[in-house]
Amino acid sequence: MKYEPKEHPSSFDPLGRLWDSRTEPPQEMAVSAASGPSFSLSYRDPRPAFLVLREGRQERRELREKREGEYSASGPVLIRTEEWLRLPETAERYEAWLNRRSASREAELRRLSLRLRAEAAALLESPGSDWLAVALPSPPELEGACGGRLGELQDAVLEALFLVLTDWQRAGGDCRLDLLAAYPASPAEFAAAREFIETVAEQTLGHRFAASCRIGALIAPDLAASAAAEIGRTADFLVLDGAADEAAPEEAAARFARAAEDIAAAVRRVKPAAALLAAGPPAAAALADLYRIGLGGIFCAPAQRTEALLRAACLTWIDRQERFGGLEESGRIG
């Protein structure tokens, strides 16, 4: 049965606290993208923008001609560092580290760190890397692992990102780096993850960067709405992620939309201006429902992005016609 969402009023900035003093919210973002339809927002628009953002590193080399301090108009690109562990060269080092005893594990971790640093460098050199939202890895094989193995891996990823970012900035490059804790199961887990990220950031890049770094949470759709609300209270942004759902597309999309509605309602009760986006194939399939629920937008893989842009443009156009048509009939717009 198709999911029918309720209409929710949506008066919050779709990226909320993601904006900082270095960048101003673009004026034309209703369907935000490097290319594609865009509808300007004005005082007449009661609904904020719905963003269609990129997921994954772009391989096509492009000339980066950005003015100093200028960031992507469309928002951040979502990067899942867990995918780095599946790349052939990195996977070999990861498996070696995973299977070593403590005597040689430290040496393998150093080798793995070099590979992670190479991936981070390739990321910053890729097109569209001026604003990144990077999710820390949380591989299933390390769930409940003893000896802090997950912490060691995440520390290596953060250090690789921060060291490469330092080199990039020294060479005159510019990149805004936001970070995502991966799938916290409770507010306490997110608080611990945030403190961990801030500690590594301060040790590597100093207090100023650690204080300004935006830290969000990648949350699973099956997380209790009450837990999501408490995480959203302190997170700078939330990304509801359906990537792990392997059900049939229609079933996964309907389930994802129901979860999104419950979580969005719970989060807004405690933080009305919360920045809440979605990711994963079910999010793209449920785009119309997520738009009506009032989410800020979705992250899309390249294969889904063109269709998502067209659907979002249609929804925005229909929404504007319905809203302004009603105002014109009532004589409020001449």
151-193: per-residue pLDDT in tens? 999 999 999 999 999 999 899 988 899 999 999 999 999 999 9
User: Average pLDDT of 106-112?
Assistant: 92
Residue type, 176: R
Residue 6 lies in a domain: no
What confidence tier does 34 reach under pLDDT thresholds 50, 70, 90?
A: very low
For residue 133, pLDDT over 70 is answered with yes
Q: Count other Cβ atoms within 10 Å, centred on residue 69.
A: 8
Q: What percent of the chain has pLDDT over 90?
A: 57
pLDDT digits (tens, 9 = 90+) for 226-246: 999 999 999 999 999 999 887
For residue 24, pLDDT over 50 is answered with no
CA distances (Å), origin 68, targets 18, 133, 168, 235, 276: 19, 20, 14, 28, 28
Those residues whose C-beta lies under 8 Å from the C-beta of residue 230, and which sit 6 or more positions away, are: 187, 270
What confidence tier does 330 reach under pLDDT thresholds 50, 70, 90?
A: low
Dihedral of alpha carbons 248, 254, 257, 259, sign:
negative
What confidence tier does 328 reach under pLDDT thresholds 50, 70, 90?
A: low
Scanning 53-186, the segments in alpha helix (DSSP H) are 88-99, 102-125, 149-170
Cα 255 off chain centre by: 20
Q: Count other Cβ atoms within 10 Å, centred on residue 116.
A: 27
Residue 231 lies in a domain: yes
The reported pLDDT for the residue numbered 155 is: 96
The answer to whether 275 and 17 have CB atoms below 8 angstroms apart is: yes
What confidence tier does 57 reach under pLDDT thresholds 50, 70, 90?
A: confident
**End-to-end Cα distance, the chain:** 42
The reported pLDDT for the residue numbered 198 is: 94
User: Average pLDDT of 290-315?
Assistant: 93
Residue 281 lies in a domain: yes
The reported pLDDT for the residue numbered 46 is: 55
pLDDT digits (tens, 9 = 90+) for 292-302: 999 999 999 98
Residue 67 lies in a domain: no
Identity of the highest mean pLDDT range in 97-111, 211-225, 320-334: 211-225
Residue 39 lies in a domain: yes
Domains held by the chain: number: 1
Residue 244 lies in a domain: yes
Residue 158 lies in a domain: no
Residue 118 lies in a domain: no
The reported pLDDT for the residue numbered 333 is: 44
Tell me the average pLDDT of the chain.
81
Residue 237: which CATH number?
Answer: 3.20.20.60
pLDDT digits (tens, 9 = 90+) for 251-294: 999 999 999 999 999 999 999 999 999 999 999 999 999 999 99
**pTM of the predicted model, to two decimals?**
0.82
Cα–Cα dist 87/64, whole Å: 26
Cα dihedral 225/312/28/127 (nearest 10): 90
What confidence tier does 320 reach under pLDDT thresholds 50, 70, 90?
A: confident
Its domain, for residue 196, covers 16-60+72-84+130-142+176-329
